[in-house]
Amino acid sequence: MYLSTEIKKNIFKEHGGSEANTGSPESQIALFTHRISHLTNHLKSNKKDISTRRSLVLLVGKRRKLLNYLKENDIERYRAIIKKLGLRK
């Protein structure tokens, strides 16, 4: 499986501060980014997989909402996560 428990714990530890901090916007954005990159690679070889494309669009929307929330409430944390993950905006 591409998203094992160890990978999730590493993502949460690196971006959320600890393994137990799974609800912070930074950790959720990092998790969504990991899943988006995996789905993007899948769609490069499976162009007609419409259900996966729909899931990808929904994930991008969720990540965008979290980024907008972070931008409105704490611009420094927003800039830090954008720079750390290499997202463009």
Residue 22 φ then ψ, to 5°: -90, -10
Whole-model pTM: value is 0.91
Helix axes 25-45, 50-73, angle to 10 degrees: 150
Residues of the domain holding 69: 5-85
Q: What is the CATH number of the domain that holds 60?
A: 1.10.287.10
- Residue 89 has a pLDDT of 65
Domains in the chain: how many in total?
1
Q: How far are the Cα atoms of 3, 50, 77 from residue 70, in angstroms, in the given order?
A: 25, 30, 7
DSSP 49: -
- Residue 21 has a pLDDT of 82
How far is Cα 22 from Cα 31, in angstroms, rounded to an integer?
10
Report yes or no: 78 and 70 within 8 Å, Cβ to Cβ: yes
User: In tens digits, what is the pLDDT along the chain, a chain of 89 residues?
Assistant: 688 999 999 999 999 888 888 889 999 999 999 999 999 999 999 999 999 999 999 999 999 999 999 999 999 999 999 999 999 86
